[in-house]
Amino acid sequence: MPPESSSEPQSSPIAVLALAGLLTTAAPHLAQGPDDLRQFDDRASVFEVQVPVNVVTRSGEPVRGLQPEDFQILDEGAAQEITGFRVVDLDLIAPDDRQVIETDYGIPPAARRHFLFLFDLSFSAPTSVGKARAAAQDFVLERMHPTDLAAVAVHTVETGPQLLITFTPDRAQLARAIATLGNPRLLNLTTKDPLGFMIDAPSANPVGSLDIGGVNDDIRAMERDIDAYLRVIGNEMAKYEKSYARGQISSWTGALQGMARILSSVEGRKHVVLFSEGFDGRLLFGRQPDFFDEEMHREQEAIDTGQYGRVDTDNRYGNTQLLGHVNRMLNEFQRANTVIHTVDISGLRADLPEEHRTRVVHRDALHYMANETGGELHEDANDFGAELGDVLASSTVTYLLSFEPTEPGEPGEHHRLRVRARAPRGAQISHRMGYYTPRPFGDLHPLEKRLLASDLIAAAQERDDLKIDVLATAFRAGARAAYVPVIVEVGGGGLVENHDQPLLPIEIYAYVTDEKTQMRDFFSRVVTLNLAGREDAFANTGLKYYGHLELDPGAYLVRVLVRNSVTGNTGVETVKLEVPAFATGEPTLLPPFFEQEPGSWFLVREQPADQYAKTTVYPFTVNGEPYVPSAAPLVQTNPKGINAEICLVGYNLGPGDLTLEATVVGPNGELVTGGEISLRERTVTGIPGLDKLVANFDPTDLPAGDYTLRVAVTDPATQARPANSIPLRVLN
């Protein structure tokens, strides 16, 4: 929705933001994205490994109070120096005390619990899968801690694993993904989210309480459609005869092994919750001694009479080659610091027609997969969340240890880890079993790149390979929703570091979450710049990108990630945003806007999504002249008294004479003496209730450094005093 129009003459904002000859290509959404790493940095031979450790007593209670000296890390048997230590106690972050902004938690991805809900559509009857969804939704909405991240995926032998929604704190989108299982007929896929945070458009009524009915009012109405969708999948799988079972299992384990390898790029302990009916365990282990059916009786007779050709040795003794495939898959999950919890959903279906019961369900295979990775088999799928309670309780306290490997080895090489702890007798220690030496960013799988980016955004963790500054503010645009320009400034030095190509592809992602950590809007773009002959100029300046969001009144967190698509250099910045309730008529002041010096940035504006968006009025104008505000203003102290010009935008400020007051705050929150502001002009906008002021700011008395400038406007008639602020740097 565009901001309100003005009677002022409007210069074309596109002309202001155009960059002739520099912008060569621009994709509507990104290739893929991302995560943690310093590790994925071609520049550094030294990298940091983070090791989350849980220590529990014999009774399963977390052990608290341990210090760095109580731990020892062995990398391939060699003791390592612990260079970082942090304790994360989730009991000290009570869900009821949750504040508006996710960054209040300050928990890095490596210390967060990650849950992946994986629905097996190949070895499960449709009815079983359909009923398992309710149990999964209940776990998401009722049992996960606010700091937990979760993802949803489905798997078939034909397509392999498909990630429906990435690791996210958004419970509403998770529940939506579980409800639909990715069925496109049930989704509003008008805008494709490149990182997979939003499976479809956010609900107009976000989840207000932990009530599954509030996630989407139409979920119950979808039951018939989703059941039909699952029946189609079930019918396709039923076409396979038993002779193909071994090939199916081999393909199944191979695809999951690839998923495990990709999950190794996601920091932290991962818990895969696999909903499945399993497959015939005899194909792996042979018949158990207590399983003596008519077929086994006939085979025994054949053996006794020497007719060995009539004996299916795989069914009787198991297939060692197939078991090897499964073990390699499980080993990859162990290396990825991932535990598999299997949920047997066979008990959730009633009697089905014979054609739908093509697989003999044995829990041996499910139990084996869980047991080999440190998880458990849960036989009561309706209440698996209660059974996972021990897992949640045992990981309440996490000790996050960091070290820099003394012998990092070759890229992609796996290192085995062992952690020792000085803990009470009988205590159990759980930690990642190893790590991979970082590979060059270009060698990563596209899904690895995507997960790296989404994990950083989900955790709202700052990353400073690239210097990023963000300005986000809300303009009144209609009866309710606000037009929110987002200006992203990216330092050119980090973007071109180790980049030796004339074309520079830059990925830009911006997501916004509300006070319940639900994704409300986003934009993304790949901008490819042709730097031939302009490398030095770009390195000394950088990219300024203009995008926008549309939001209702409320408190939000804007999460921005920018990345060089070639080198993987990444920057992440998060800013708080308050969208006023303009309709109330309360006096409101937007942040002070410092006009950016022309020519100091390479400027690119968002691509309109439709023709309507092309008519959006550019909001940064004064007296009809457009300007480009600075996200991180630099002001120069000048003995000649040349002041910085500030543009102020206010709503409902009153008709009387206005006075301005500036307050300068230091980096530690202390008031700083110096810095004066004076009102120069109150312009005519022609829009009732909209004011645009021009003021001068004199920083002469301020020492060089970083500050926050807070400006207040006072209406003497009403004594209303709206205020707002912006960070700035003073240079001598």
- Distance (Å, rounded) from C-alpha 21 to C-alpha 18? 9
- Distance (Å, rounded) from C-alpha 416 to C-alpha 426? 23
pLDDT tens across 597-630, in order? 766 789 999 987 654 455 568 899 998 899 999 9
pLDDT at 519 over 80: yes
Query: Which fold, 633-732?
Result: Immunoglobulin-like (2.60.40)
What is the model's pLDDT at position 302? 55
Q: In what order do the strands lie in the sheet with 71-75?
A: 78-80, 71-75, 414-421, 434-436
**3-state class (DSSP) for residue 388:** coil
What is the model's pLDDT at position 131? 76
pLDDT tens across 38-64, in order? 333 443 457 899 999 999 998 889 999
pLDDT at 289 over 60: no
Q: Which string of DSSP letters, residue by residue, matches 288-335?
A: -TT---HHHHHHHHHHHTT-GGG--HHHHH--HHHHHHHHHHHHHHHH
Identify the sign of the CA torsion 124, 127, 128, 132: positive
pLDDT classification of 524: cutoffs 50, 70, 90: very high
Least confident segment among 141-150, 303-312, 329-338, 382-391? 303-312
pTM of the model: 0.83
pLDDT classification of 348: cutoffs 50, 70, 90: low
pLDDT classification of 191: cutoffs 50, 70, 90: low
Nearest Cα residue to 619 out of 503, 719, 476:
476
**3-state class (DSSP) for residue 56:** strand
As separate numbers, helices (DSSP H) first and strands (DSSP E) second, the chain gives: 15, 37
The tokens of 272 are what?
């895969």
- Distance (Å, rounded) from C-alpha 572 to C-alpha 9? 37
pLDDT classification of 18: cutoffs 50, 70, 90: very low
Domain map of the chain by residue range? Answer: 1-45+441-628, 49-84+105-110+398-437, 118-285+321-394, 633-732
Residue 198's alpha-carbon distances to 80, 190, 218, 403, in angstroms, are 41, 11, 17, 35
- Distance (Å, rounded) from C-alpha 555 to C-alpha 141? 22
Q: Which residues pair with 646 in a beta bridge?
A: 594, 695
**3-state class (DSSP) for residue 100:** coil
pLDDT at 206 over 60: no
Answer whether 1-45+441-628 and 633-732 agree in fold: yes
What is the model's pLDDT at position 728? 92
Kindly give the pairing relationship between strand 588-589 and strand 634-636: unpaired
What is the model's pLDDT at position 8? 43
- Distance (Å, rounded) from C-alpha 437 to C-alpha 169? 28
What is the model's pLDDT at position 229? 62
From 3.40.50.300, 2.60.40.2550, 3.90.950.20, 2.40.110.10, which CATH number describes the 1-45+441-628 domain? 2.60.40.2550
- Class for the domain spanning 118-285+321-394: alpha beta
Q: Which residues pair with 421 in a beta bridge?
A: 71
